[in-house]
Amino acid sequence: MSNNRSGVFIGGLMLGATIGALTGVLVAPRTGRETRKLLKKSADAIPELAEDLSTSVQIQADRLSASALRNWDETLDRLRDAIASGIDASQRESQVLKRQQANQDSDPLAQELERS
């Protein structure tokens, strides 16, 4: 979850930097020609900035997806282990019960006590 938050933070940071730069250009005491030049340079840089932002968000999304898949795989592994342990335990218990039943069937004293 923190990967998603850091992606949002980076995106917000880049957007804030862009807005701050444009505001600074517009408010700075320059001639109209100089301001237009700076605006053109800034406008030319926007596609690159957008691509960087997109790449950053995609990287964060990939990290989050990879983390979710790892967690899912780990959960499935633990579930498989738990099921296997449960099957083993039930088989052992079944064998113990069969032995006890066999011992009772072969012990005449136990049979006599059951009848009483």
Buried b (16+ CB within 10 A) or exposed e, 61-75: eeebeeeeeeeeeee
Q: Please tell me what DSSP assigns to residue 28.
A: S
Residue 14 has a pLDDT of: 77
Q: Which residue ranges in the chain fall short of pLDDT 50?
A: 1
Residue 68 has a pLDDT of: 79
Residue 70 has a pLDDT of: 81
